[in-house]
Amino acid sequence: MASEYILEMDHIEKTFPGVHALSDVHFDLVAGEAHGLVGENGAGKSTLMKVLNGIYTKDSGSIKIEGEEVQMHGIKDAMDHGIAFIHQEISLVPYMTIAENIFLGCEKKNALGVDQLAMKQEAQKILDSLDMPLDAGEFVYHLTIAQQQMVEVAKAVSKNVKILVMDEPTASLSLREQQSLYEQVKMLKSRGVAIIYISHRLEELWILCERFTVLRDGCYVGTRDVATATNQDVVNMMVGREVDNYYSERLHAKPEDVILKVEGITSDVVKDVSFDVRKGEILGMSGLVGAGRTETILAILGIDRRLGGKVYLDGEEVHFRNMSDAIKKGFMLVPEDRRGQGLVLGNTVGFNIILPSLKKIYKNLTINYKLQDEIIDTYASRMRIRMSSAAQRAGNLSGGNQQKVVLAKWLSMAPKVLVMDEPTRGIDVGAKAEIYELMTELAKSGVAIIMISSDLPEILNMSSRVVVMYEGEVKKIFDTAEEELTQEKIMTYAAGVGGKE
Amino acid sequence: MAEKTTVKKGNPFSTFFKNNGAILIGYALLVLALCIITGDTFMTTSNILNVLRQAVQNSLMAFGITFILINGCVDLSVGANCATTGVIMVLFLNMGVPFVLCVLITLACGALMGLFNGYFVTEWNLIPYVVTLASQNIYRGLGYVISGGLPVRNTDPSFTYIGNGYVGPIPFPIILMLFCWIICSIFMSRTVTGRHMYAVGGNQEAAQYSGINPKRIKRIAYTFSGVLSAIAGIVLAAKLFSGQPSSGVGYEGDAIASNVLGGVSMKGGTGTHTGALIGALVLATLTNGFNLLQVDFYYQMIVKGFVIILAVEIDVLKKAAEEANISLKELLFPKKK
Q: Which of B86, B19, B141, B206 is nearest to A151 (CA)?
A: B206
Contacts of A96 in chain B (CB under 8 A): 198-199, 202
Contacts of A307 in chain B (CB under 8 A): none
Q: Is residue B33 part of a domain?
A: no
pLDDT at residue B337, rounded to an integer: 42
Euclidean distance between CA atoms B226 and B232, whole angstroms: 10
Q: Do B206 and A92 touch (CB under 8 A)?
A: yes
Give the tens place of pLDDT for each residue, A60-83: 899 998 888 888 888 888 888 889
Contacts of A85 in chain B (CB under 8 A): 209
Å between B35 CA and nearest CA of chain A: 38
Rounded to two decimals, the pTM is 0.77
Tell me the pairing of strands A219-225 and A211-216: antiparallel
Report the amino acid identity of residue A242.
E
Task: Assign 3-state DSSP to chain B and report helix, strand, coil percentages, each to 5.
Answer: 75, 0, 25
Q: Do B199 and A96 touch (CB under 8 A)?
A: yes
What is the domain count for chain B?
1
Report the amino acid identity of residue A147.
Q
Euclidean distance between CA atoms A362 and B98, whole angstroms: 72
- Other CB atoms within 10 A of residue A408 CB: 24
Å between A124 CA and nearest CA of chain B: 13
Euclidean distance between CA atoms B195 and B190, whole angstroms: 7
The partner residue sitting opposite A114, judged by closest CB among B4, B192, B205, is B192
Per-residue pLDDT of chain A (501 residues; tens, 9 = 90+): 445 788 999 999 988 876 788 889 999 999 889 999 988 777 888 889 889 988 888 888 999 988 888 888 888 888 888 898 887 666 789 889 999 999 988 888 888 888 888 999 999 998 888 888 889 998 888 888 778 888 988 888 888 888 999 988 877 677 777 888 888 888 888 888 999 999 877 888 888 899 999 998 888 999 999 889 888 888 888 877 666 567 777 778 777 789 999 999 998 889 999 999 999 899 999 887 778 888 999 999 888 888 888 999 988 999 888 888 888 889 999 988 888 888 888 889 999 999 888 888 888 888 888 999 999 999 999 888 888 888 888 888 888 889 999 999 998 888 999 999 988 887 877 788 888 988 998 899 889 999 998 888 888 888 999 999 988 899 889 988 888 888 888 888 887 776 544
Q: Do B270 and A95 touch (CB under 8 A)?
A: yes
Å between B189 CA and nearest CA of chain A: 7
Å between B322 CA and nearest CA of chain A: 8
Size of interface A-B (CB pairs under 8 A): 93
Q: Do A141 and B212 touch (CB under 8 A)?
A: no
The partner residue sitting opposite B202, judged by closest CB among A87, A94, A107, is A94
The chain A residue lying nearest B187, using CA atoms, is A113
Q: Is residue B39 part of a domain?
A: no
Q: Do A143 and B5 touch (CB under 8 A)?
A: yes
Q: Do A135 and B212 touch (CB under 8 A)?
A: no
pLDDT at residue B5, rounded to an integer: 39
pLDDT at residue B131, rounded to an integer: 96
Q: Do A146 and B209 touch (CB under 8 A)?
A: no
Q: Which domain holds residue B115?
A: 51-322
Per-residue pLDDT of chain B (337 residues; tens, 9 = 90+): 333 433 444 556 666 676 677 778 888 888 888 888 877 788 888 888 999 999 999 999 999 999 999 999 999 999 999 999 999 999 999 999 999 999 999 999 999 999 999 999 999 999 999 999 999 999 999 999 999 999 999 989 999 999 999 999 999 999 999 999 999 999 998 899 999 999 999 988 888 888 889 999 999 999 999 999 999 999 999 999 999 999 989 899 999 999 998 889 888 888 999 999 999 999 999 889 888 888 888 998 898 889 888 888 877 787 777 767 666 666 666 654 4
Q: Do A107 and B195 touch (CB under 8 A)?
A: yes
Whether ipTM tops 0.90, in short, is: no
The chain A residue lying nearest B270, using CA atoms, is A95
Q: Is residue B1 part of a domain?
A: no
Contacts of B6 in chain A (CB under 8 A): 135
Contacts of A94 in chain B (CB under 8 A): 202-203, 269
Å between A15 CA and nearest CA of chain B: 22
Q: Do A100 and B191 touch (CB under 8 A)?
A: no
Report the amino acid identity of residue A184.
Q
Instruction: List Cβ neighbours of B31 (8 Å cut-off, separation of 6 or more).
Output: B42, B285
Å between A105 CA and nearest CA of chain B: 5
The answer to whether the beta carbons of residues A394 and A347 sit under 8 Å apart is yes
The partner residue sitting opposite A95, judged by closest CB among B186, B191, B202, is B202
The partner residue sitting opposite A87, judged by closest CB among B3, B192, B209, is B209
Euclidean distance between CA atoms A198 and A166, whole angstroms: 6
Euclidean distance between CA atoms A164 and A162, whole angstroms: 7
Coil, helix or strand at residue B196: helix
Euclidean distance between CA atoms B249 and B233, whole angstroms: 12
Q: Is residue B238 part of a domain?
A: yes
Q: Is residue B103 part of a domain?
A: yes
Task: Assign 3-state DSSP to chain A and report helix, strand, coil percentages, each to 5.
Answer: 35, 25, 35
Q: Is residue B329 part of a domain?
A: no
- The CA R_g of chain B, rounded to the nearest whole Å, is 21
Euclidean distance between CA atoms B30 and B26, whole angstroms: 6
Contacts of B199 in chain A (CB under 8 A): 93, 96, 100, 104
Å between A140 CA and nearest CA of chain B: 10
The chain B residue lying nearest A144, using CA atoms, is B2
Q: Do A113 and B191 touch (CB under 8 A)?
A: yes
Report the b/e string of B260-280 with b at 16+ CB within 10 A.
bbbbbbeebbbbbbbbbbbbb
Q: Do A93 and B323 touch (CB under 8 A)?
A: no
The partner residue sitting opposite A105, judged by closest CB among B210, B269, B325, is B210
Q: Do B198 and A91 touch (CB under 8 A)?
A: no
Instruction: List Cβ neighbours of A457 (8 Å cut-off, separation of 6 or more).
Output: none
Q: Do B209 and A112 touch (CB under 8 A)?
A: no
Which chain B residues have any C-beta within 8 angstroms of a chain A C-beta?
1-7, 9-10, 186, 189-192, 194-196, 198-199, 202-203, 205-212, 269-270, 322-323, 325
Contacts of B190 in chain A (CB under 8 A): 112-114
Å between B22 CA and nearest CA of chain A: 19
Q: Is residue B42 part of a domain?
A: no
Coil, helix or strand at residue A263: strand
Q: Is residue B87 part of a domain?
A: yes
Give the CATH number of the domain where residue B190 resides: 1.10.3470
Alpha helices in A283-393, H assignment, sequence order = 293-301, 323-329, 349-354, 358-361, 369-382
Å between A94 CA and nearest CA of chain B: 6
Report how far apart, in Å, the C-alpha atoms of A342 and of each of A355, A415, A421 are: 11, 16, 11
Euclidean distance between CA atoms B146 and B16, whole angstroms: 45
Burial (Cβ within 10 Å: 0-12, 13-18, ≥19) of residue A459: buried
Å between B14 CA and nearest CA of chain A: 15
